[in-house]
Amino acid sequence: MAQSGGRQRNQARAVTWPPRVSAVSPASHRSWTLPFDRLRAWAQAEAGPGRLLPWVPVAFGAGIALYFTAEREPVAWVAALAASLFTAAVILLRRSSALPYMLLAAAMAAGFAAATWKSTRIAHEVLAKPLFGVALTGFVETREERERSDRFVLRVATMETPRDAIRLTRVRLSVKKGTAPAVGSFVELKARLQPPLAPLRPGGYDFARDLYFQGIGASGFVTGSIKKVDPPTPPSRHLQYTATMQGMRDAIDACIRASLSGDTRAIATALLTGRRDAISSDVNDAMFISGLGHVLSISGYHMAVVAGVAFFVVRALLALVPVLTVTYPIKKVAAAAALVAALFYLLLSGAEVATQRSFIMTAVVLIAIMVDRRAVTFRTLAIAALVVLIIMPEALVHPSFQMSFAATLGLVALVQIGMPALFATSESSTTARIALWGGRELALLLLASLVAGLATMPYAAYHFHRITPYGIIANLLAMPVVSALVMPAGLLGLVAIPFGFDSVFWHIMEFGLQWMIFVSKWVASLPGAIGRVPAFGTGPLITASLGIVVLSLLRTPLRYAGVVALAVATIWAVATKQPDILIAGDGQSVAVRGRDGRLHVMRSGKDAFLIKEWLGADADTRQPADVSLGNGVSCDPSGCVTALGDGALIAMTLQTDALGDDCDRAAVMVTAKQPPADCRAMVIDRKMLQGQGATSLRRIGDGFVVDAVRARGLDRPWARGLTKTSEEGASTDRSRSRPVDATPAETDLAPDD
């Protein structure tokens, strides 16, 4: 028995020896492969029928973004050929499993080709250096009324310069307030012209690129009187139409001005005609700090309200006639009427880029209603995005497009996951009573504001270096009044103008606008209302955008990868190291981070807008005139000097007699003079700044990492002339500090909805 038991134990040991390290049981194999099977199943589900369309505009936009990152202008026919080849591959592989990947690749190639084609189609010359006393004649195309000046765009007919060096197509000029010529008039004048403003810091917004795609080759201001003369040729039909619409806007503004004044008049005009530049700076700042700035720019919200009011009124009126209700599809008729109303609002408001995009989105929704399709879907949004990007590929890099589509994407995703079900009517009498008192609508508004605010936060932080911590509060208090009172009263006022009964509607509108201004100022005065965010690069922004898209478009648990991407983007943005030295493109302003961690400025000019941009990008709430900006800065007629946080000296040398001393003592010297050949300091001179524009330096050990606005070899049409600026142009660049709104005006950026 003992032997038998021993044999059994030995057999047992033989069975279990050697250890089963290489053998894998079926259960263990399933435990390892199950996660991969799930991932594969989720991926297949996401690539199912009808699920790829929302990703097409994403890929199309990626191709446009790739175009804007190129160092040199792509060849249009090569880009078109590549897009054609990818499209042919999609057709050939339409039954292959590789179709989804090839379709997205073709969309990306098409986006790249669309942007290249648009740039080629609108190609025009750009001013390379300042010009004085330029004699111009031409037609006035647009006119803007601003807080301290007016501004207009002139389509140039003739241009006479001392050297006749360049022929511009369109220029944008500033004049004294109230002196801008009428749209459609032919004028002759003399002006001082400046090149389009390059980014004020590395990674900053490229204003020159914006002006290039608007067909504007220079900006400046009128130096003498403006004479209206007879045109050599009749104005074009387009210009006649523009003049007619401008006359209509002026007439509406005159009617509003007869009843209202101050900021309420300016905001009412902005909501109805798109002319928002006469709003006072304190109210304008309060609106953006509080998160209500989107109200000032005619975009998605305004277009939706106009179309919604027209749809509701027409449908309600038709429903009063039983014969029409039974005989005709009054819902489709109302949608068609709303489309006409939205088109008229587009034309009346000036048809700016943001408004065009908003109209396209609204039109797609209304057409979906007319053809019995669901209006609020990812497909609708995808079609709208594609149409906008095909027509205006440059809109992709503008904050208006980014914030608008991010907010809309978030709201559509909220609807798709069942927002109505979250607030469905309950049998509970308590819930029913709350709903009767507006609890459901309040909750929906709160949730929509939260989602839209979170979706647009990365773009507001990137472009404007701020977030609105109390934006939900401001929108919750103000937007119901704007939607239910201000905008309907404004639309009724427009209808009542021909009959002479519009005054009462302007006063109703004024009541709501006063409430909105009160809310914006109150919220802006709350502690911590100004949420400053230091500047960060495009990497975190792209990562955050990918996270928003993935979280919104995917339906399987793969969507939670978007949360990971958003977390990575947040950490990346927060960890971004700010520059220790900022140098203006003309070398006349230098900001140095001192021992207190804040920027201190050495300057020989008074470019307040530049300093404001630098401080905003550094999350610094100080104003350009703050005396603390000069703390630790020592200046004399020969130049200025200040110290970095580690004690290293930074010099801005203005006179030749200070070159030797600064070369020996300073770690970095910024100068327009010729330094000695044996200079020990790192020299940033005029020639370097002419080639690379505004420059920033980050301290790494004993050296510096240099970042510049224009990388070596950059050759894009909106920046092509900027790398060829002569010494004369650089020396006159300080004219930007003149108390004229020419240059600061061209840099106005407002977050559009």
Q: Is residue 644 situated within a structural domain?
A: yes
Q: Is the pLDDT of residue 725 over 90?
A: no
Q: What is the pLDDT of residue 349?
A: 81
> Which 8-state DSSP code applies to residue 554?
-
Could you give the number of structural domains in the chain?
A: 4
C-alpha distances in Å from residue 544, one per residue of 73, 117, 285, 458, 462 = 28, 29, 27, 7, 11
Pairing of strands 695-700, 599-603: unpaired
615 and 697 belong to one structural domain: yes
**What contacts 10, CB < 8 A, 6 or more positions away?**
none
Residue at a domain's end among 67, 97, 121:
121
218-222 and 170-176 as β-strands: parallel, antiparallel, unpaired?
parallel
Mean pLDDT, residues 134-155 taken together: 87
pTM confidence score: 0.83
164 — pLDDT class (breaks 50, 70, 90): low
CB 741 within 8 A of CB 146: yes
Judgement on whether residues 558 and 643 belong to the same structural domain of the protein:
no
Q: Are residues 550 and 585 in the same domain?
A: no
Same domain? For 590 and 687 the reply is yes
Beta-strand relationship, 668-671 and 682-685: parallel
Q: Specify burial of residue 108 (Cβ count, 10 A radius: 0-12, 13-18, 19+).
A: buried
Please check whether residue 97 is in contact with residue 81, taking contact to mean a CB–CB distance below 8 angstroms: no
CA distance 609 to 116: 32
| Structure confidence at residue 372 (pLDDT) | 79
Q: Considering only CA atoms, which of 591, 567, 577 is closest in space to residue 537?
A: 577
Same domain, 633 and 568: no
pLDDT digits (tens, 9 = 90+) for 632-648: 899 988 889 999 988 89
- Indicate the SS3 state at residue 734: helix
On whether both 640 and 596 belong to a single domain, the answer is: yes
Length of the chain: 753
- Output Rg (C-alpha) for the chain, integer angstroms: 31
Is 661 part of a structural domain of the chain? yes
Looking at the fold, whether 549 and 671 belong to one and the same domain comes out as no
Q: Are residues 693 and 610 in the same domain?
A: yes
Position 134 in a domain: no
Kindly state whether residue 360 falls inside one of the protein's structural domains.
no
Residue 228 in tokens: 């209206």
Give per-residue pLDDT as tens, 693-723: 899 999 988 889 999 888 777 788 888 654 4
CB 720 within 8 A of CB 123: no
Would you say 481 and 292 are in contact if contact means Cβ atoms under 8 Å apart?
no
Q: Choose among 454, 247, 265, 446: nearest CA to 350.
A: 247
End of a domain among 529, 556, 574?
Answer: 574
61 and 21 fall within a common domain: no
194's enclosing H/E stretch is strand 186-194
Structural domain including 29 reads 1-46
| CA dihedral sign of residues 657, 662, 663, 668 | negative
Number of H helices, E strands in the chain: 28, 18
DSSP state of 72: B
In-domain check, residue 419 = no
Whether 753 shows a pLDDT value over 50: the answer reads: no
Domain assignment of residue 282, yes or no: no
Helix ranges (DSSP H) in 194-291: 207-213, 237-259, 262-273, 281-290
Strand partners, 652: 640, 670
634-636, strands of its sheet edge to edge = 634-636, 639-643, 649-653, 668-671, 682-685
Task: Please give the pLDDT value at position 432.
Answer: 52
Q: In this structure, are residues 478 and 418 in contact, taking their beta carbons and an 8 Å threshold?
A: no
pLDDT (tens digit per residue) in 404-445: 888 888 888 887 776 555 444 445 455 554 544 555 666 676
pLDDT tens across 95-140, in order?
887 888 899 999 999 999 999 999 999 999 898 888 888 899 999 9
φ, ψ of residue 642 in degrees (nearest 5): -150, 175
Q: Rounded to an integer, what distance in angstroms lies between the CA atom of residue 416 and that of residue 86?
A: 32
Alpha helices in 47-98 (DSSP H): 55-69, 76-92
Residue that finishes a domain, picked among 121, 143, 158: 121
**Same domain for 562 and 688?**
no
Share of the chain above pLDDT 70, in %: 85
| 19 and 8 share one domain | yes
Residue 473 lies inside a defined structural domain of this protein: no
Q: Is 717 among the domain residues? A: yes
Strands 639-643 and 634-636: antiparallel
Q: Are residues 32 and 53 in the same domain?
A: no
